Chains A and B, each alone.
Chain A
Amino acid sequence: MAKELWEGNAAIAEAAIRAGLEAFFGYPITPQTEILEHLSHRLPELGRVFLQAESEIASINMVYGAACAGARVMTSSSSPGISLMQEGFSYIACSEVPAVIINVMRGGPGLGNVAPSQGDYFQAVKMAGHGDFHPIVLAPGNIQEAIDLTVLAFDLADKYRTLAMIAADGSLGQMMEPAEMPPLRPVRPPEERAAWALTGAKGRKPNIITSLYLVEEELEKVNLRLQAKLREIAANEVRWKEYSTEDADLLMVAFGTVGRVCQTVVREARAKGLKAGLLRPITLWPFPSARIAELAGRVRGILVVEMNAGQMLEDVRLAVEGRRPVHFYGRMGGIIPLPDEILPQLEELDAATRS
C-alpha cells in the first residue's frame, strides 16, 4: 500500500480498524477527539460498533463489558479522561480481558491545557488504579510507529489477555507524516470468540468474569498468576530503538515526541564532536532496563529528557543503579523541548563527567 500523509489521531483510529477493531466506546476530549470522529463514521459504515458514551467512566466500563463478551475493543482519551478510567483499568487487569487504550497526553495536572505532554508516564506505566498490575505501554515516536504499535497493541492485548495502552501526546496526535496502513484484517466472527468469553452458557458450564475474591489466599493466587504473566511479558515484549549508541559515551534516554527531538540533538551533538547516542524506549512498560543498564556500563553519563518533571527518570535511575550520573531536562505545561535547549544540557553532562 502506498504512503499517505496521515494525521496521528486519524492514523491511530484507522490502524485500529485495520487491526480488526469491533467496537469503540469513547468520550470527546482534546487533543484526541479526531480518533473518535474518525471512528464515528468508519465503524458504522463497516457494520461495527461505535458509541459515544456519557463519560470516560462509562466508556471504560463499556469497553470492559464488550471485552468480557470477547470482542476486540478499545477506547481513547487524553490525560484527565484517563484519570477517570483508572478504576476500570484495575477491574480489567484483574479480570484478565484484553482491551486497548489510546492515551493522547495533554498538559496537567488538573484541567491543565490541551498542549502535548508526557505527564501521564506514571499513571500509564505504574497505573494509578488500585492493586498490583501494569498495562503494556507503547510509546510511538512517529506516525508510522503509531500505526504499527496500535496494531501490535491489539495483538499483545489478545495474546496476554491484558490491557495495552498507546501513550502518545498531543503533538503526535495532531501532526502529519507520510505513513503506510496495513491491510484491513477481517473482523473475528462472534462464533470464534474465546472460550473464556461471555457468549451464553450453551452446552457448557457458565463462564464467570469477576475481580472479586473474598478468600485472601484465592486473591493472592490470582495476583501470583498476574505477576507471572507480567514477568513473561517483561521477558518477551520489551522494545526500544537506539541511535548512534555503538560508540557513544553520552547517552540520552527519551521517548515519544521528545525522543525524536533527541534524534536531532544526537546529530547536532555529533556535528560538534560529542559522542552522543540515544535510546528511545518503545515499550514504557516493560521498560528496557536491562539494555539501559548495559549501556550505562559503557558511557560516562546519561541525560533523560521528558515533557514532565522527571517521571521516566526514576526508571532510568533504577536501571542504572547509581553507577553513572543521570541528569535530567524536562519541560512542562505542554511545552516540547527543542534541540537548541537540550544540546547545552548534553554539553553540561559532558563537562561534568570529564573530570
Chain B
Amino acid sequence: MAVEMIADMELVFKYPESLTPRVTHYCPGCTHGVIHRLIAEVIDELGVRERTIGVAPVGCAVLAYDYFNMDFCEAAHGRAPAMATGIKRVSPDKVVFTYQGDGDLAAIGTSEIIHTANRGELITTIFVNNAIYGMTGGQMAPTTLPGQVTTSSPRGRDVETAGWPMKMAELIGMLSGAAYVTRQAVLDVPGIRRTKKAIKLAFQVQLAGLGFSMVEILSTCSTNWGVSPLEALDWAKQNMLPYYPLGDTKVVDEVRALMAKP
C-alpha cells in the first residue's frame, strides 16, 4: 500500500522472501535475528530458496525453522552436520546449511563438525558464537572467555579447571576438507555488511562444489551477559574481539578466485 505513494523512490531494504512473517522468540536486541536475516537475504540473492534445506540446532535457534521460509529439519543436539551430510549425500543438487550455536557446534557436536568439515562435505555452516549458553539460561560455553562469569562459572571461567575457550574458526580452518572458513561479527553496521558478504561467499563455495564452508559469527547475548542490548555490542567488542580475531582462517585458491569475481 505504501508503494503507490513513493513513485520516485526506490526500495533499498525489504523483507526477505526467505523469511516467514513470524516474529522471532529471541530476546530484544539478540543478534540471532540479524544473522537469520542475512542468511535469508543471501539465499534470496542467489535465487536458491526453492532448493535449500536448512538444519536447525538445539540451543536458542532450535526454532529457526519457524522463521526460514524453506524446507527445514531439526537435529539432535550437536548432530546438525551429520544430518546435513545425510541430506546432501542423497540430494547433491540441493543447497544444505546448518545453523549452530557454540554449545551445539563447539561442545557436544565437536566431533560431527570436525569430521564433516574434514570430509569436505558440500554444506555451509553458520556458527553463532556468543560465549555463553543462552537457551538453558547462561551457563559456561566452550567459547566462554577466561574469567567470564556465568551461572556455571560463578567465579569466572577458570582455565585451570575448565580449559580454554575453543577457537573453532582456527580449528576448522586447519582441516583439508574446509574450503572457506572465516570469523565475522555482527556488532556494528560495517561488521554486519562484511558478515553478509562472508555468508554469501560461503554459500557460493557450496554452489561451486569447492568444499566445506563455515562462517563463525561473534554474536551477543545481552540477557545472559546481564547488560542492555546496546551495552552487549560494546561488551563483545571489548572482550570477544581480542580473543576471537576477525578474518578468514581458510581460503583455498579456488575460493580466492571466486572472491575476485565481480
Contact = CB atoms under 8 A, between A and B. Distances in A.
Nearest to A55: B111
Interface in B47-98: 49-53, 55-56, 62-63, 65, 68-76, 79, 82-87, 89-91, 93-94
Contact of A206 (B71, B75, B85, B111): B71
A199 B53 CA distance: 7
Interface residues of A, number: 41
A61 B112 contact: yes
A62 B82 contact: yes
B51 A200 contact: yes
Q: What band does the interface of chain B fall in when counting residues whose beta carbon is under 8 Å from A?
A: 20 to 34
Contact of A73 (B65, B74, B90): B90
A91 interface: yes
Contact of A66 (B75, B86, B115): B86
Nearest to A205: B69
A54 B90 contact: no
B96 to A, nearest CB: 9
A73 B91 CA distance: 13
A207 to B, nearest CB: 5
Contacts of B49: 201
B47 to A, nearest CB: 12
B90 A49 contact: yes
A209 to B, nearest CB: 4
Contacts of B63: 212
In terms of DSSP, what is the predominant structure of the interface of chain A? mixed
Contacts of A87: 76
Contact of B70 (A22, A54, A206, A212): A206
Q: Identify which of A25, A53, A67 gathers the most chain B CB atoms within 10 Å of its CB.
A: A53
A202 interface: yes
Given A200-B53, A201-B50, A68 B87 contact: yes
A65 B56 CA distance: 12
B89 A49 contact: yes
Contacts of B51: 200, 202
Given A66-B89, A200-B53, A57 B82 contact: yes
Contact of A68 (B62, B73, B79): B73
Contacts of B72: 198, 206-210
B91 A190 contact: yes
Given A64-B86, A199-B91, A212-B63, A69 B53 contact: yes
Interface string A59-86: 1011111111111010000000000000
A22 B50 contact: no
A-B pairs, top 5 by smallest CB distance, nearest first, are: A65-B86, A65-B83, A61-B82, A62-B86, A66-B86
